[in-house]
Amino acid sequence: MDAYVGIDLGSTTTKAVFLDEHEKLLGFGITNSRSDYDIACQIAREEAEINSRFAILRRELRSQVAGDGHEQLIAWLFQKYRLAQHSRQLEALAQACRKAVDLLPNAAHRPPTHAVLDQILTEMEREAVGLFTPGAVARSDFFRDVAASSFLHLAEKKAGDDAKLLDRLIGTYDKSILQVEAKSYTNAFADYIRFAADAVRRMPEFEAHGEAITRAVANTIAIEFRVLNTIGTGYGRQRLPFPKEQIRSEILCHGLGAHFMFPKTRTVLDIGGQDTKAIQVDENGIVTNFQMNDRCAAGCGRYLGYIADEMNVGLHELGPLAMKSRKQVKINSTCTVFAGAELRERLALGERREDMLAGLHRAIILRAMSLLARSGGVVSEFTFTGGVAKNQAATDALRKLIAENYGEMTINISPDSIFTGAIGAALFAKRDRKGDLIGVDLKALQKPVKPTAQEQR
Amino acid sequence: MLLQKKMIAGHFDRLANTAKTGEKAVYTFVPGNLNELIWAFDLLPVHPEINALQSAMRKQSGDYVLEAEKAGHSEDVCTYVKSDIGMMRKGNIGPTGQRLPEPSLLLLSYTGCFTFMKWFELLKQEYNCPVVMLHVPYQADGRITPEMRKYVVKQLKEVVIPKLEEISGKKYDEDKLRAMLASSARSEDDLVAVWDAAKQKPSPIDAYFGGVYYIGPIFTAFRGTKECESYYRTLRAEVEQRAKQGLGPVTPDGKVHQEKYRLVVEGPPNWTSFREFWEMFYAEGAVCVSSTYTRVGGLYEQGFRHDPEHPLESLADYCMGCYTNRNLPSRVDLIAKQIEDFQADGFVVNSIKSCNSFSAGQLLMMKEIEKRTGRAGGFIESDLVDPRYFSAANIKNRLESYFQMLEARS
């Protein structure tokens, strides 16, 4: 199957999208950005491929299983697949941890640490089975977060009052997770899906579908993706291992991606981890004007991250907490660190956390409003993208301010908005090849890399 | 380039030797400067903002800015001023490492930038020397009226010339002034020919980054001198030769291989990271075919020339006509015309953080120009000579996005 790939290497997460030749979305992939951009990029891409395969698998099962039965089936297959992948990573983590303990400088510390470590790892394995069931609330999509939360919790429990042992365990984990993250454990679709199929076939409720599962899985494995072109974008795009012609600014990609999701889009607001972009696009999704925050990232996603840390709550809890506010407290948005200080002071004065958080969300949106005005205002339809678009307190503040300043209009927020940039990139990948939008010289792209001195000889 | 370097070095040498030669220095600003008149009294012009930008290109301005801040000047003050004040407080060693003479006179011949006024107030406190202020009426209605001209000429006659006579101990010699103005006009003709060469595709010059070198002699101490005339004759011949051969501009990394985007630029360049900034353009095949910054010291392509027949009137027109004395609609007209005349694909505004006078209104201008020309504008922000305010990654990101936007729209 021919595919076009878009990769958006953001400061927090790396996203990838597969698109078919008719510009239909095949699948999405996401991973946490890490120090090794190549790996982040590779994993996001592989995740997108897996996601594409699951879409195919769903179609296969739908044609073979009567009624809605295939939905339950695919949900279980997916969770078991994740479990297989998670277990492989756990295995790698266990190996890395054991090696790290072997290298503890004081030999006397090794045996007791090994003993506790083995208990922790065994329990993590057991826990994992419960984590991957349909309907279970995922702590995070990323192995790093899931593993850290289990490991730290268990380490604290097992170490008890022995603070030095706890230190050693945490040190071991920190070293080891970096090694796990430096490798991809994603690229083994056939292995994982076979494991998942075996597990699901054994479940009494799916006994009748054994053959359908086998057939659908075999068909899905057999499909080969032929990637015809890849375009990279995002904050880290310069570090992507692509030639310059395959790199596109995230502003263009967000504009085109937003147009793809909501074709009547004329204004796009993207609030990402470290920048905010106000973009105006024409009827084809081509950018006509844009403004970005300059030299200060107050008012971006990281502002919320910082505040979450200051208040000792999870990033995802901020929005829901702010929604519980009864009055709005004004918080400055000119500087993240000052806002943090202001927050502490107001907490000390007895303001409610929820009210202050509502003020903070409004502060972020006020910054965005200024950028929007500078880029040419807000024209219907208006599409809001980026990680912050997932935060309901932020979107509520935005809706209110847009209505006050520009009147009522259609505001689009897609649950998949985090993929907007990657979708735009994938569209460029496809259109560049056809020369619809940008005349990239394909021959130049395919030019072989200069032979090395050795090869020349 | 070599000729220009020699000229500038020679001038700084001369300034450094005033203690021995007894020559006197007059500090004045580039826009609306009265160089010929100063030279006519055998006085030496010094342009503080040129010292600031030269210090920035030699990576010295950062320390000067900090020094001025130590002395109590706020972070928001124009960084040209702070670099100058800092340089003075560190011994007034100029960009070439030689000591600059103290001013015998501060001649303020232009006030469209109100910072200039404050700047000289500060210098007056430091040097305790006389100040002459020529009040140049702002072109609020976008034109120069006969009354405005008369008003400036009257001040030249009654205030500026008597003061220059007093400082120099010499009588005003109008013939000497006329001769210099005639020489200025010849250099001005050649400069316009250089700008016009950029109308050709590909442009043989970069009229912004290269352009700041081309305006060096005429906007600083040399207008009206023989050296200046010969510099522009040589430059014009070189540029016309390049045009004839169909060559593109020369950059620090060699030739531009393909002129992908033709741009007009509004606003001064960043001086502390000048080369890095330039590279962001030429590496993407962007060539600046015209700019407003290269017109701050005179809008010669609109027909103005220093006129030996009407010496004081033409000096008055010169002061009133400089780019920074124009209102927003005239600035919009000028940029829109440059875009058309030079067949530009778009325009970029480099908005200066610490310049309150000229950054105000730039977004409004941008929208108006876009509407009028249908060409897309790009907006970046940096600063003149404070190295802390050049955020390379951010500017590069915006420029790349802008270039790709031009490409997608074409």
A157 and A285, same domain (yes or no): no
Per-residue pLDDT averaged across A31-59, rounded?
A: 89
Query: Which chain A residues have a beta carbon less than 8 Å from that of B398?
Result: 292
State how far the Cα of A343 lies from the Cα of A355, in Å rounded to an integer.
Answer: 11
- Two tokens, residue B190: 């050649």
A75 and A166, same domain (yes or no): yes
A42 and A89, same domain (yes or no): no
Tens digit of each residue's pLDDT (9 = 90 or more) over B304-319 = 999 999 999 999 999 9
Tell me what the pLDDT averaged over chain A comes to.
87
Residue B361 near residue B328, CB atoms below 8 Å: yes
Per-residue buried b or exposed e for A352-382, using 16+ beta carbons within 10 Å of the residue's own CB: bbbbbbbbbbbbbbebbbebbebbbebebbb
For the beta carbon of residue A1, count every other beta carbon within 10 angstroms.
14
CA atoms within 13 A on the CB side of B157: 9
A194 and A91, same domain (yes or no): yes
**Residues of B within an 8 Å Cβ radius of A:** 363, 367, 370, 376-377, 379, 381, 389, 391, 394, 397-398, 400-401, 404-405, 407-409
pLDDT > 90: percent of chain A: 53
Tens digit of each residue's pLDDT (9 = 90 or more) over B173-200 = 999 999 999 999 999 999 999 999 999 9
- Band (pLDDT 50/70/90 cuts) for residue A433 is low
CATH number at residue A313: 3.30.420.40
Q: Does A252 touch chain B (CB under 8 A)?
A: yes
Tens digit of each residue's pLDDT (9 = 90 or more) over A317-338 = 888 889 999 887 888 766 788 8
Q: pLDDT value at position B2? A: 79
Which among A246, A254, A249 has a CA at the least distance from the CA of A285?
A: A254
Give Cα A389 to chain centroid, integer Å.
Answer: 13
- Band (pLDDT 50/70/90 cuts) for residue A444 is very low
Q: pLDDT value at position A295? A: 64
Which among B87, B89, B31 has a CA at the least distance from the CA of B62?
A: B87
Phi, psi for residue B256 in degrees, rounded to 5: -85, 120
A246 and A200, same domain (yes or no): no
B409 contacts A438? CB cut-off 8 A: no
Three-state SS at B133: strand
Q: Does A376 touch chain B (CB under 8 A)?
A: yes
Q: pLDDT value at position A428? A: 94
A119 and A43, same domain (yes or no): no
Q: pLDDT value at position B220? A: 84
A329 and A395, same domain (yes or no): yes
B394 contacts A295? CB cut-off 8 A: yes
Shortest distance, CA A286 to any CA of chain B (angstroms): 7
Non-local CB neighbours of A298 within 8 Å, separated by 6+ positions? A333, A334, A335, A336, A339, A367
Q: pLDDT value at position A167? A: 94
DSSP state of B160: I
Question: Alpha helix locations (H) across B71-171?
Answer: 79-89, 114-127, 146-155, 161-168
Q: pLDDT value at position A450? A: 41
Q: pLDDT value at position B283? A: 93
- Two tokens, residue B225: 């001198």
Class of domain B176-409: alpha beta
Q: pLDDT value at position B191? A: 97
Per-residue pLDDT averaged across B378-394, rounded?
A: 90
Q: pLDDT value at position B345? A: 97
Tens digit of each residue's pLDDT (9 = 90 or more) over A258-316 = 999 999 999 999 998 778 999 999 999 999 999 988 767 777 888 888 888 888 887 88
Sheet strands side by side (includes A267-271): A287-292, A276-281, A267-271, A382-385, A411-412
Least confident of A85-89, A179-183, B376-380: A179-183
Tens digit of each residue's pLDDT (9 = 90 or more) over A371-424 = 999 898 999 999 999 888 889 999 999 999 999 999 999 999 999 999 999 999
- Band (pLDDT 50/70/90 cuts) for residue A434 is low
Closest CB to B404 among A248, A294, A374: A248
Q: Which helix (H) or strand (E) holds A6?
A: strand A2-9
Write out A296-343 in H/E/C secondary structure.
CCCCCHHHHHHHHHHHCCCHHHHHHHHHCCCCCCCCCCCCHHHHHHHH
Per-residue pLDDT averaged across A153-161, rounded?
A: 92
Question: Alpha helix locations (H) across B250-376?
Answer: 274-282, 311-321, 328-341, 356-359, 362-373
Which residue shows structure tokens 């999704």? A285
A286 and A309, same domain (yes or no): yes
State how far the Cα of B167 lies from the Cα of B216, in Å rounded to an integer.
Answer: 27
Q: pLDDT value at position A435? A: 44
A234 and A304, same domain (yes or no): no
Shortest distance, CA A447 to any CA of chain B (angstroms): 19
Residue A280 near residue A375, CB atoms below 8 Å: yes
Which among A122, A137, A28 has a CA at the least distance from the CA of A79?
A: A137
Task: Give yes or no on whether B2-170 and B176-409 have one common fold.
Answer: yes
Tell me what the pLDDT averaged over chain B comes to.
92
Q: pLDDT value at position A457? A: 42
Identify the closest residue of chain A to B361 by CA–CA distance: A374
A55 and A81, same domain (yes or no): no
Least confident of A26-40, A430-444, B343-357: A430-444
A104 and A174, same domain (yes or no): yes
Identify the closest residue of chain A to B403 by CA–CA distance: A249
Instruction: List % helix, strand, coil for chain A (3-state, nearest 5).
Output: 60, 10, 30
DSSP state of A16: E
Tens digit of each residue's pLDDT (9 = 90 or more) over B265-313 = 999 999 999 999 999 999 999 999 999 999 988 899 999 999 999 999 9
A28 and A77, same domain (yes or no): no
DSSP state of A242: S
Query: Which chain A residues have a beta carbon less than 8 Å from that of B404?
Result: 248-249, 251-252, 438
Tell me how many domains chain A contains: 3
- Two tokens, residue A282: 């024409």
Q: pLDDT value at position A413? A: 94
Shortest distance, CA A294 to any CA of chain B (angstroms): 7
Shortest distance, CA B394 to any CA of chain A (angstroms): 7
Query: Which chain B residues have a beta carbon less than 8 Å from that of A437?
Result: 408
- Band (pLDDT 50/70/90 cuts) for residue A437 is very low
Shortest distance, CA B36 to any CA of chain A (angstroms): 42
Burial of B404 (0-12, 13-18, 19+ CB in 10 A): buried
Burial of A34 (0-12, 13-18, 19+ CB in 10 A): middle
Q: Are strands B376-382 and B346-352 parallel, antiparallel or unpaired?
A: parallel
For the beta carbon of residue A434, count every other beta carbon within 10 angstroms.
9
Per-residue pLDDT averaged across B68-82, rounded?
A: 89
Range of the domain at A2: 1-63+225-256+438-449
Q: Which site among A238, A290, A440 would you substitute to test the B interface, given the most B Cβ atoms closer than 10 Å to its Cβ? A: A290
Q: Domain coordinates of chain B in residue numbers?
A: 2-170, 176-409
pLDDT at A112 over 90: yes
Closest CB to A294 among B391, B407, B408: B391
State how far the Cα of A394 lies from the Cα of A407, in Å rounded to an integer.
Answer: 18
State how far the Cα of A119 lies from the Cα of A310, in Å rounded to an integer.
Answer: 33
A residues 267-306 near B, CB within 8 Å?
A: 286-292, 294-295
Q: Does A80 touch chain B (CB under 8 A)?
A: no
In this structure, which topology does domain B2-170 adopt according to CATH?
Answer: Rossmann fold (3.40.50)
pLDDT > 90: percent of chain B: 73
Identify which has the larger pLDDT, B109 or A436.
B109
Per-residue pLDDT averaged across A443-457, rounded?
A: 39
Query: Which chain A residues have a beta carbon less than 8 Å from that of B409?
Result: 286-288
Q: Which site among A240, A294, A296, A300 would you substitute to test the B interface, given the most B Cβ atoms closer than 10 Å to its Cβ? A: A294
pLDDT at B381 over 60: yes
Per-residue pLDDT averaged across B208-236, rounded?
A: 93
pLDDT at A438 over 70: no
Shortest distance, CA B59 to any CA of chain A (angstroms): 21
A374 contacts B400? CB cut-off 8 A: no
